[in-house]
Amino acid sequence: MSKAPQTPAQLTADRALRSDVRLLGDLLGQVISDLGGPPLLARVEGARQLARDRRAGNDEAGQELQNRLAGLSPAAARELTRAFSSFFSLANLAEQVHRIRRRREQSLEGVPPQPGSLSAVLRELAGQGLVLSQIREILGQLEVMPVFTAHPTRAMRRTLLVKSQRMARSLQIRLDQPEPTPREAARIQAELRRQIELAWQTEEQPTARPTVADEVEYVLFHLIEVVYVILPGFYASLSRALEEAYGPGAGADLPCPLIRFGTWVGGDMDGNPNVGAHTVRATLERQRQLILGRYRDELAELAEEFSQSEHRVSVSRAVHARVTAYRELLPERAGNLPRRSADMPYRLLLTLMQYRMEATMAETAGAYESAETLLEDLALIRTSLLAPGGGRGGLQVLLALEQRVRTFGFHLATLDLRQDSELHRRVAGRLLDRPGFMDLDPTQRADELRAALEAPLDETATTRAESDDPESVRCLDVLRTIKDMRTRHGARAFGPYIISMAQGADDLLALLLLARHAGLEREARIELDVSPLFETVDDLLNARSTVSSMFADPVYREHLRGRGNRQLIMLGYSDSSKISGIAASRWALYQVQEELGELADEAGVELSFFHGRGGTVGRGGSKPRSAILADPCGALRGHLRLTEQGEIVHAKYGLRGLAERTLELLSGAVLQTTALCSPRSRPEPQWTGIMDLVASAGRADYQELVHHHPQFHDYFREATPIDVIERLEIGSRPPSRRSGRGVENLRAIPWGFSWTQNRHLLPGWYGVGRGLQTAAERFGADELARMAARWPFFANLLADLAMVLAKADLEIASRYAELAGPVGESVFPVIRERWLETRDWVLRLRGEDELLDLEPALQRSIRLRNPYVDPMSLLQVDLLSRWRASGREDRELETALFETVRGISQGMQNTG
């Protein structure tokens, strides 16, 4: 297949990107030369050129590169790696700004809208015959919630995040001024160089392990500094898109909020002893103060802007009455109102509202009781502006604040909680005073829990359980904190309580028993939304039976009725893929959504799914729009809840243009798949049988290597830098969930991180090639090609495989394999054979000559990046060998290794 030629617009855009990268690279070179010295710059440039020559097929250049890197002092290795890492940080920033550039160019009049944008989606829906009333009905039901998580490999200092945004603004000035004057160009370059210089002089990671509070700040930076700012722009884009597709007035009175935000940071206790009642409380308080502070500042800005005189516009009696009421409510502050504003009722009211917000922050008299009371004041002003003679001046900025308050409330983001089911069982056993409770089968446990929940509460059991058991105290304290904080922050402050490794109705009943003992029962109802998390492929395959038992359990069903008959189920992508391979994981996740949707319909339960996707393909990562459209028809029903991993939060929400694009892609895909779902969207019957075979054969092949090969565990320990990653001070959570050194106990993040570092990227592709080969032998390659062309699920799987296979590098991977000695000689040939097999099938089914021919921009990006990643990889191999030879005790070598880990992560744009 020949590649599609680039359009003139694409060529122009590529030139602009190359110009930005070249400028940033030149400025970095100047900084390296000035601060690191000319010899460092010469070493960097020499390594880069040799790496490029090696990629071009010059074996001598490859050997010379390896010779130059071998034996570098730890200090020299650190500086060399820092140079390449800094380049990637700048290149990543340039690519982000480039995406904003492309988005702006495609919003120009006469240019087709950007694929996946709200304009493109709504035009397509209108073309399919959907009328405006149908669209507005779907929008009225739409619920999209990105949930931000911590990520141990991505916790950049706030100061570097700010510097990144400043550099992006400078690049965007170049975008706004394509032909700047010499003085303007010099000023832009001086600002860019200043930020690059400061970043070079700043350590990327703190020397101490980040605390939970540090991880909270990383997420809040993106929510407050970016998402808060762009939210009204998202609604403005939706309004324009509706009017483009359906005519004037179609975008008026949009439902809000369509999007809300959640977070796990501060509430994810699973395997993290640093998270508990204290972090739940501290996180909610910090979020509250931040969002109230933004409202205070925005009210002050609105008061300054709303200068309308009552002699020139009509102002409602209700506004005047509210000013009078607030003067009485806040007599001391009201005395500060300037006399010159006496004829400006809007300014007076907005200033008094600002005073009320300050009282809310200080928790003094006159505070707002809730976000709803603030919205009442804003609605009062809006109604007055829209009334005859109101003038409408400032209406849009007022609506912007309304949209923010409706979205963020007084809590900013919903806090989810998560804990391991096994811990709940242990504490429940103590509350029941049942020493053998853990040894009972699930049915027996459910019987005992049901009996306890139906009986009067035994308060002495709480005291007894907590008297000599710190675990019970910690667990119940978290639930008590939910009760206290809900009273203070409102019901929306908390999302679901998620149960990891949930395997039966007993796991849900155990948590309800704990909640009851913690005081969450009110009028015979336990005020807690409980969500099971199905993580392994076996748990996913058994989910129908598990959920059926949940819905059939009289106590749990009564609890559901008290919660509005709504059930959220979380689907785990990371562990299912880690244990059984990507083919089995993806197919089990697809099937479980279909099966549980049917089961919920039969039971009369409104079911929603929470997609726990990771940042990499091996952990369920995918292009968000493609992934949503690949889900089973009817699975979303207008509702999407998904994790946004800390690893990719900055890439998706770090700049305002990117964040707005991300929200458009998510909401547009949910709107499209909800509107167009029909029987014709479903796969042909024989395709499910083919996928059954691909999944089962792929799982068998993956597990044969990962779980049954006698030398695989040793290979993993020796051919990856897992021993370095385990020592990195990069997250508040330990790398393993439970004790034990096996793959099953290692968290999916360090597992995936290790395979990205050594350029294998094994979790993202291994086993699929064997599955495709097996299916083709039975059903024929032509039928698989039809699936690839007509079934979004299968096409998306192949697209993800193409990307991860293109990022893998077997030549570099072989150098890591050599670290494992004879073990590597046994294991790596198997991996190489399977990579080649998988690549050949992906090329064949996608009709490509080379990987990613269908996505040339991504193909070019990977090819341009590889020569800059290679020196860091080869250096890491050398350092690993020397560090391990020291008994892993040489701290200087270890520190240099830490730098290579971060640098390779920047270059690969993936960690765990």
Q: Would you say residue 52 has pLDDT above 60? A: yes
8 Å CB contact between 772 and 808: no
Instruction: Please tell me the total count of domains within the chain.
Output: 4
Same domain, 512 and 400: no
- pLDDT per residue over 720-775, tens digit each? 999 999 888 665 565 555 555 566 667 777 899 999 999 999 999 999 999 999 99
Q: Would you say residue 10 has pLDDT above 60? A: no
Instruction: Write out the two tokens for 362.
Output: 């200080």
Q: Would you say residue 911 has pLDDT above 60? A: no
| Higher per-residue confidence, 6 vs 455 | 455
8 Å CB contact between 723 and 580: no
pLDDT number for residue 588:
96
Rg (CA), the chain: 29
- pLDDT per residue over 581-603, tens digit each? 999 999 999 999 999 999 999 99
| Higher per-residue confidence, 519 vs 729 | 519
The three-class DSSP label of residue 873 is helix
Q: Cα separation of 482 and 476, whole Å?
A: 10
- pLDDT per residue over 417-446, tens digit each? 999 999 999 999 999 999 999 999 999 999
Of 912, 906, 883, 262, the closest CA to residue 611 belongs to 262
Taking residues 822-835, report their average pLDDT: 98
Q: Which domain holds residue 840?
A: 685-854
> Which helix or strand (DSSP H or E) is residue 216 part of?
helix 212-222
Tell me which residue has tokens 């040793």: 714
Same domain, 298 and 399: yes
Of 827, 854, 881, which one is at a domain's C-terminal end? 854
Same domain, 734 and 832: yes
pLDDT number for residue 811:
94
pLDDT number for residue 510:
98
**151 included as an active-site residue:** yes
pLDDT number for residue 417:
98
Q: Would you say residue 7 has pLDDT above 70? A: no
Kindly report the CATH number assigned to the domain that includes residue 375: 1.20.1440.90
Tell me which residue has tokens 């689907």: 571
Question: Mean of the per-residue pLDDT values for the chain?
Answer: 92
Instruction: Write out the two tokens for 798.
Output: 């192949």
Q: Cα separation of 494 and 90, whole Å?
A: 37
8 Å CB contact between 394 and 214: no
Same domain, 356 and 442: no
DSSP at 2: P
Q: Would you say residue 266 has pLDDT above 90? A: yes
Q: Cα separation of 752 and 285, whole Å?
A: 34
pLDDT number for residue 900:
96
The runs of H, that is alpha helices, within 277-432 are 277-305, 317-329, 331-334, 345-362, 371-386, 395-408, 421-431
Instruction: Write out the two tokens for 902.
Output: 């971060």
At 2, is the pLDDT very low, low, confident or very high (cuts 50, 70, 90)?
Answer: very low
- pLDDT per residue over 672-721, tens digit each? 999 998 766 689 999 999 999 999 999 999 999 999 999 999 999 999 99
In a domain, 268, yes or no: no
8 Å CB contact between 733 and 150: yes
pLDDT number for residue 17:
87
- pLDDT per residue over 639-662, tens digit each? 999 999 888 899 899 999 999 999
- pLDDT per residue over 213-234, tens digit each? 999 999 999 999 999 999 999 9
Of 512, 589, 497, 603, the closest CA to residue 549 belongs to 603
Of 185, 202, 219, which one is at a domain's C-terminal end? 202
Same domain, 461 and 323: no
The one catalytic residue in 222, 411, 578, 639 is 578
- pLDDT per residue over 622-633, tens digit each? 888 999 999 998
pLDDT number for residue 748:
72
How far from 705 is each of 291, 306, 699, 824, 831, CA to CA, in Å? 50, 68, 10, 13, 9
Same domain, 761 and 691: yes
In a domain, 262, yes or no: no
Q: Would you say residue 162 has pLDDT above 70? A: yes
In a domain, 607, yes or no: no
Q: In the Cβ-directed half-sphere of 521, how many Cα atoms lie within 13 Å?
A: 16
Taking residues 801-813, report their average pLDDT: 96
At 105, is the pLDDT very low, low, confident or very high (cuts 50, 70, 90)?
Answer: confident
For 804-837, b/e burial (b = at least 16 CB within 10 A) is bbbbbbeebbbbbbebbeebbebbbebbeebbeb
Same domain, 394 and 291: yes
Same domain, 339 and 292: yes
Instruction: Write out the two tokens for 328.
Output: 């009485």
In a domain, 710, yes or no: yes
Same domain, 741 and 847: yes
Of 765, 785, 769, the closest CA to residue 697 belongs to 769
Of 202, 237, 261, which one is at a domain's C-terminal end? 202
Q: Cα separation of 587 and 691, whole Å?
A: 7
In a domain, 235, yes or no: no
Q: Please report, to the nearest 10 degrees, the dihedral formed by the alpha carbons of residues 101, 103, 107, 111 taken in order.
A: 90
pLDDT number for residue 206:
67
Q: Cα separation of 592 and 570, whole Å?
A: 11
Q: Cα separation of 847 and 840, whole Å?
A: 10
Taking residues 495-505, report their average pLDDT: 95
Angle at 412 between CA 101 and CA 228, to 5 degrees: 20
Same domain, 848 and 719: yes
Q: Would you say residue 248 has pLDDT above 70? A: yes
Q: Would you say residue 390 has pLDDT above 80? A: no
Same domain, 432 and 392: no
Q: Name the percent of the chain lying above pLDDT 90.
A: 79
Q: Is the peptide bond before 257 cis (omega within 30 degrees of 0)?
A: yes
- pLDDT per residue over 282-305, tens digit each? 999 999 999 999 999 999 999 999
- pLDDT per residue over 346-382, tens digit each? 999 999 999 999 999 999 999 999 999 999 999 999 9
In a domain, 133, yes or no: no
8 Å CB contact between 122 and 650: no
In a domain, 909, yes or no: no
At 156, is the pLDDT very low, low, confident or very high (cuts 50, 70, 90)?
Answer: low
> Which helix or strand (DSSP H or E) is residue 848 part of?
none
Of 428, 473, 435, 469, the closest CA to residue 451 belongs to 428
Q: Would you say residue 5 has pLDDT above 90? A: no
pLDDT number for residue 864:
85
The one catalytic residue in 98, 151, 222, 559 is 151
Same domain, 477 and 422: yes
Of 842, 833, 752, the closest CA to residue 800 belongs to 842
Of 484, 523, 639, the closest CA to residue 139 belongs to 639
In a domain, 377, yes or no: yes
Q: Would you say residue 471 has pLDDT above 70? A: yes
Q: Cα separation of 480 and 574, whole Å?
A: 31
> Which helix or strand (DSSP H or E) is residue 519 part of?
none
